[in-house]
Amino acid sequence: MGGSDGARAGPRFSVVVPAYNESAFLGECLQSLASQDFSGTYEVIVIDNNSTDQTAKIARLHGATVVGEQHPGVCWARRAGTLVARGEIIVSTDADTTFDRGWLSRIDQTFSASPDCVAVAGPCRFLAAPWWGGLFVWLLFHVVHVISLLTGRVVYVTATNIAFRKSAWTGYDTNATQGGDELDLLRRLRSRGRIAFDLGNPCFTSSRRLRQGLAYNLVVTFLYYYLLGYGLNRLLGRPLVGTAPAFRRESRSATYGQRLTRIVLTLAAASVCVAMLIAVGRVVTYLAAQ
């Protein structure tokens, strides 16, 4: 994919896409990558992480390089793809994600304008998300943007929209079932140099993770699997907390009791969200006053 560039032995970018049973989304992802207006060279690598559907076949039909990885887990998959990547810059994303035509070009422009940057990150936006999902990512990435402007420090990146120089990459923590491709990668890259955050270069990802409701995503996905899982697994050096379940099908209809429970949990989770937003606001206010 992409145009020619005789000055480089390899492509400018290697786009690494981990995939586990992603036949419903992968084709659209790869089509949007093939439609980029970037004039340089880039390759697309799909890591088949033990899929039992047509994931690998779809990837090959779209001209992607397919790499198999038997160890289950997204960090193992991203590691496998990055190891074989030939590009100067690794672009990390997900199989249920799409991009506008200028996505790679804007990443390239930021790297070219800032030769000292080791990584360029951007936000993601959920497609067809519930109101709280859209609000959450809007607030999250605007807070990240403001803190980066005030301090020069990027405090969070999403693995579905980060590009980094392969020369600055020191590996993924494969003991981390969640967070290793975001929190740990960010920690490692910050030790190698400056990271830029481009609020104006989003990607667009499926909101299927949000269909379990606000309470599930806040308490189970975020607090348990993400924060607690990353912290414990890194502390102990082994995957004590396993990988969060993959959602590949529509949710079944809930009973009246289940709906009532979800409403109560959602109200409780909303209260926690408000408290967290107030705390974040105070941190930003404090940083701005320094």
pLDDT tens across 126-173, in order?
A: 999 999 999 999 999 999 999 999 999 999 999 999 999 999 999 999
For the domain covering 13-206, report its CATH number: 3.90.550.10
- Contact between 164 and 122 under an 8 Å Cβ cutoff? The reply is no
> Structure pTM?
0.82
Average pLDDT over residues 249-255: 46
Q: Check residue 252 and give its pLDDT.
A: 42
Question: According to the per-residue pLDDT averaged within each range, which of 182-186, 233-237, 273-277, 278-282 is highest?
Answer: 182-186
- Summarize the confidence of residues 252-260 as an average pLDDT: 49
Please give the Cα distance from 172 to 40 (Å, whole number).
Answer: 27
pLDDT(88) > 70: yes
Q: Where are the domains of the chain?
A: 13-206, 213-289
Distance CA 8, CA 17 (A): 23
Confidence of residue 282 (pLDDT cuts 50, 70, 90): low
Helical ranges in the chain per DSSP H: 26-34, 55-61, 74-84, 103-113, 131-151, 185-190, 214-215, 229-236, 256-289
Q: Which residues pair with 97 in a beta bridge?
A: 205
Instruction: Report d(CA 114, CA 120) in Å as an integer.
Output: 10
Q: What span, in angstroms and rounded, lies between the C-alpha atoms of 98 and 261?
A: 34
What is the C-alpha separation between 230 and 239, in angstroms, rounded? 9
DSSP state at residue 217: I
SS3 call for 168: helix
What pLDDT score does 250 carry? Answer: 44
106-126 pLDDT, tens digit each = 999 999 999 999 999 999 999
**Chain-wide mean pLDDT for the chain?**
86
Given a cut of 50, whether residue 198 has pLDDT beyond it is: yes
More confident: 113 or 232: 113
Task: Name the β-bridge partners of 89.
Answer: 13, 165
Tell me the DSSP string of 247-260. Answer: --SPPPPPPHHHHH
Query: Do residues 28 and 98 make contact, with C-beta atoms less than 8 angstroms apart?
Result: yes
pLDDT per residue over 3-39, tens digit each? 434 445 799 999 999 999 999 999 999 999 999 999 9
Q: Which amino acid is at 96?
A: D
More confident: 216 or 51: 51
Instruction: Write phi, then psi, for 206 (nearest 5 degrees).
Output: -65, 145
Helix 256-289 and helix 131-151: axis angle, to 10°? 20
Cβ atoms 31, 60 nearer than 8 A: no
Asked whether the predicted pLDDT for residue 260 surpasses 80, the reply is no
- Give 175's pLDDT tier (boundaries 50, 70, 90): confident
What is the pLDDT at residue 41?
Answer: 97
Evaluate if residue 279 carries a pLDDT over 80. no
Pairwise CA distance, residues 99 & 101, whole Å: 6
Q: What is the mean pLDDT of residues 232-241?
A: 80
Residue count of the chain: 290
Spacing of C-alpha 63 from chain mean position: 23
* pLDDT mean over 36-54: 97
